[in-house]
Structure 1
Amino acid sequence: MKLVFATNNKHKIEEVQHMLPASIEIVSLESIGCFEDIPETADTIEGNAIMKANYVTQKYGYDCFADDTGLEVDALNGEPGVFSAHYAGEQRNSDDNMNKLLDALSAASDRNAQFKTVIALNLNGKQHLFTGIARGEITIEKTGNQGFGYDPIFKPQGFELTFAQLSLEEKGAISHRGKATEQLINFLKTK
């Protein structure tokens, strides 16, 4: 089975393909000739995932899935949430985003947070949603060089290491994207 993954993020493609069985091949947006920026203007994580999946299905005619992820920090009333990718500005720079978040939490004693991923799958004319959540806390400083985004400052519950210190296998087994992808895989196995 081939499915388009509606993202240009090579890290996400690699991470998700690593979790999928060999029978499911991810096709990139580049491979289908989609080079434009897909709108992500919804005010929820679910809304953005749906918007991206629908864009590819409607414009290119492919079954596909899209995800959107947000980091929700308790002390910041769920921010940055849907704005996680461009929290520090439209340049979408991970270091800038992490620095802004660490500054915002500099005096906070509550550093609890969660990553939330929603995958919207358009398959055979129907849409299905899968949600994964990883609880944890925001560290005081950046640690590790694996992963991407906020991984160097997010320590998942039950671990002494940040996501950026874990291997792809370790992170995939416990991460928000891993949990949502597992639901997606289990669903696809029934098809």
Structure 2
Amino acid sequence: MSDNIHKYEEVRAVARELGFDVQLMPGLKLEVQSDSIEEVSRKSAILAYLLVGRPLLVEDAGLYIQALRGFPGPYSSFVYRTIGIQGVLKLLEGTSDRRACFKSVTTVIYEPFIIVERGEVCGFITDSPRGSRGFGFDPIFTPEGSEKTFGEMSLEEKNRYSHRAKSVYSALSKLKKMMEQSGWGPGNVLKLG
């Protein structure tokens, strides 16, 4: 469901930590539109599972900017494609409130389990882009506790703060615990949607 190699690399690093192998599912993109990233993640995962019939993981995220009343939120991908980083910075011109949070929801379907977990990191929007790593709004977001933007961080650095790493880690940790309680072990392949 995702062709985003950057997202895949972030998720794969977390999954490996927990003993899971995650593979990319290029070409299959089912994204539900909603004002809720939880609904987008959960419904997209269920639809994808009905199509592929295999264990899978779907993660959806959004950038919520305080001065813009949470915009772009669940529409972050669309906003990035249409007005981009410069458009968002233009919307923030004249405001001193640069607070923002990245929020993520990960849904894992591994029958009979359906797990939905959240992750969040707050920080602020910079005045100009910094760094060329990551993707999307990473070059203008600095998490609390860091002076670097996500765009300036290595994958390992970003995953120490990342909303995505938090939601994926939480979902896969819960899955691992449930599997162990059921007498299963990880090592099976999850598809990334």
TM-score (norm 2): 0.86
Give a deviation string over 1:157-188, Cα, whole Å, max 9, x none.
01111011111111101110111122123213
Give a deviation string over 1:25-83, Cα, whole Å, max 9, x none.
112213xxxx2431321221011101221111111111111011000001101000010
Q: Which amino acid aligns with 1:37?
A: K
Q: Which residue of 1 aligns with 2:55?
A: 63
Query: Are 1:21 and 2:6 matched, yes or no?
Result: no
Q: Which residue of 1 aligns with 2:2?
A: 7
Give 4+ residue runs of structure 1 displaced > 6 Å after superposition. none
CA distance in 2, matches of 1:10, 1:55: 21
Q: Which residue of 2 aligns with 1:73?
A: 65
Q: Which amino acid aligns with 1:148?
A: F
Q: Which amino acid aligns with 2:35?
A: D
Q: Which residue of 2 aligns with 1:138?
A: 125
CA distance in 1, matches of 2:66, 2:159: 23
Q: Which amino acid aligns with 1:60?
A: V
Q: Which amino acid aligns with 1:184?
A: A
Query: Are 1:154 and 2:141 matched, yes or no?
Result: yes
CA distance in 2, matches of 1:118, 1:71: 12
Give the structure, 1 or 2, with the largest relative contact order (CA under 8 Å, sep 6 or more): 2
CA distance in 2, matches of 1:123, 1:18: 19
Q: Which residue of 1 aligns with 2:185?
A: none
Pairwise CA RMSD: 1.5
TM-score (norm 1): 0.87
Alpha carbons 1:42, 1:51 under 8 Å: kept? no
What fraction of aligned residue pairs are identical, expressed as a percent? Answer: 33
Q: Which runs of 5+ in 2 are unaligned?
A: 180-193
Select the residue among 50, 53, 69 that pairs with 2:45: 53
Select the residue among 102, 111, 129 that pairs with 2:89: 102
Q: Which runs of 5+ in 1 are unaligned?
A: 1-5
Aligned in 2, Cα 1:39/1:189: closer, same or farther, shift over 3 Å? closer
Q: Which amino acid aligns with 2:174?
A: F
Q: Which amino acid aligns with 2:133?
A: Q
CA distance in 2, matches of 1:157, 1:118: 20
Q: Which amino acid aligns with 1:27?
A: Q
